[in-house]
A and B are shown apart, each in its own frame.
Chain A
Amino acid sequence: MNIRKLLVLAGLGLAAVGTYFGLFVAPPERHMGDVQRIMYVHVPSAWIAMLLYTLAFGFAIALLWSGRQKWDDLMVGAIEVGVVLNALLLVQGSLWGRATWGVWWDWDVRLTTSLVMAILFAGVLVLRRMAPNEERRSQWSAVATVVAFIDVPLVYFCVRWWRSLHQIQSSPDTVDPAMVLPLRLNSFGLLFLALAWMLWRAAIERSSRRASEVPLPTRVAIEESAHA
């Protein structure tokens, strides 16, 4: 409980300062102008979403290895927060694309990979809801998480090659130190917030799991009343 509050406070503080610097202090980018300020939320979202998926992969391996349910709680937390950030990433990317390329969507490597990634991990959450019982649920989601995570680099390479026939990637890497600071602050801020939410989600999963474990006397009573 306490660590979560601490993480939220630190995260909110860092993100607030970072956003202030990003919006009002950092200079506009040389080519993209003020639009580039989207980067200060966009890039952290991407980093933290990837990090959460990686954590989820680790939790999935740990769950399959040890069979302990606590890994399932953390795994669902990581995936759920990851999918939320992933969805944000797509919206921010689309806005950025509209402002710089003039289109809402472009079949760009990173944009396309993150769309596939979002659908893959959202699929894991859907599979969870369908599972017949608790043990199946945790093992199925771990299996689906491992399978989905391995797919991400493959999708990335595929889309890159698929695209490279049309256009060469252009990356305006003119990074001003004044741009690094808000990026770093926002990244750590979002990291702390995301970790706090992941732990929160895990705690919810744990307590709802406990609640669904009906104690034995109650179950006997239910069965008896069913027979009567």
Chain B
Amino acid sequence: MSSLLALLSKDLLLEWRERARSLSVLLFAVVTLLLFSFALGPDVETLREATPGVLVLALLLSSTLALNESFRLEREDRALEGLVMRPVSLTALFYAKASANALLLTFLGPVVVALAVVFYSLEIDVATMTRLVGLWCLGAAGLAAPGTLYAAMTSRLKSQDVALPLLLFPLVVPVLLASVKAMGLVLTGDAMNQLRSWLTLLLAFDIIYWSVCGLLFRFAVEEGE
């Protein structure tokens, strides 16, 4: 547990030192939001309806950027090998990395949601916005666990920029569907009490993948690498 916290603080410190990198992920999410708005046309009504989808796609696209970057520094300094050699468990290493990635993606949430509110003139109160950000966080957690597992593998490859989204995107279809639906229900009102089942599904995905990926991580990274 203490090694987990040490690793996590190391990752977060790294994130802070490289804040230009984290900011570029944020900027990328904002650009995605803009591009989708241009693609869907200036009609505010259409944009408002598409808001959940646009938000989740912005999260999805920026997640690959963040995840691809997350192992780059380690690879460059051969620091992962150093960590693997040290007596920290690979499982702790995974949870630290995944948490750092989830936190980075979470931190995009408030900004992107706020921008969507402004751009699409959504008339929502603070409570609804908080719920949207909460759903964003759950989605981010769902992407971070399998994303970190796959990024650990693909970061060794020359074609990692292709490989990671190719593997990750079909896998996170449940996250995509559940968050889009849940966000839509939060925005338009939950007449038939469906929000709960989507939340359950999202949570189930998060729990399953956070545990399974933690178990599998040691096979993805070479021990004596």
Contact = CB atoms under 8 A, between A and B. Distances in A.
The reply, when asked whether chain A contacts chain B directly with Cβ atoms under 8 A, is yes
Interface stretch (A10-18, A96-104, A120-128): A120-128
Interface stretch (A28-36, A154-162, A166-174, A199-207): A154-162
Nearest to A164: B194
Contacts of B219: 64, 139-140, 142-143
Interface string A109-151: 0000000100110010011001010011001101110111011
Contact of B220 (A130, A139, A165): A139
Interface in B151-199: 153-154, 156-157, 159, 163, 166-167, 170-171, 173-174, 177-178, 181, 194, 197-198
A157 B220 CA distance: 28
B6 interface: no
Interface in B179-225: 181, 194, 197-198, 201, 204-205, 208-209, 212-213, 216, 219-220, 222
Given A126-B163, A143-B220, A150-B212, A161 B173 contact: no
Contacts of A148: 171
B46 to A, nearest CB: 20
B198 to A, nearest CB: 7
Contacts of A161: 181, 194, 197-198, 201
Contact of B170 (A119, A130, A150, A157): A119
Contact of B178 (A144, A147, A151, A158): A158
B156 A123 contact: no
Interface residues of A, number: 29
B157 A154 contact: no
Contacts of B209: 147, 150
B163 A130 contact: yes
A13 B213 CA distance: 44
A95 B215 CA distance: 41
B149 interface: yes
B15 to A, nearest CB: 25
A140 B212 contact: no
Nearest to B208: A150
B146 interface: yes
B170 A120 contact: yes
Contacts of B157: 130, 132
A64 B217 CA distance: 11
Nearest to B181: A162
Contacts of B220: 139-140, 143
B212 A158 contact: no
B170 A143 contact: no
B173 A155 contact: yes
Contacts of B208: 150, 154
A147 B173 contact: no
Given A126-B163, A143-B149, A151 B171 contact: yes
A151 B219 CA distance: 19
Interface of B: 146, 149-150, 153-154, 156-157, 159, 163, 166-167, 170-171, 173-174, 177-178, 181, 194, 197-198, 201, 204-205, 208-209, 212-213, 216, 219-220, 222
11 contacts: A64-B219, A126-B163, A140-B219, A142-B219, A147-B146, A147-B171, A147-B209, A150-B212, A151-B173, A151-B174, A155-B174
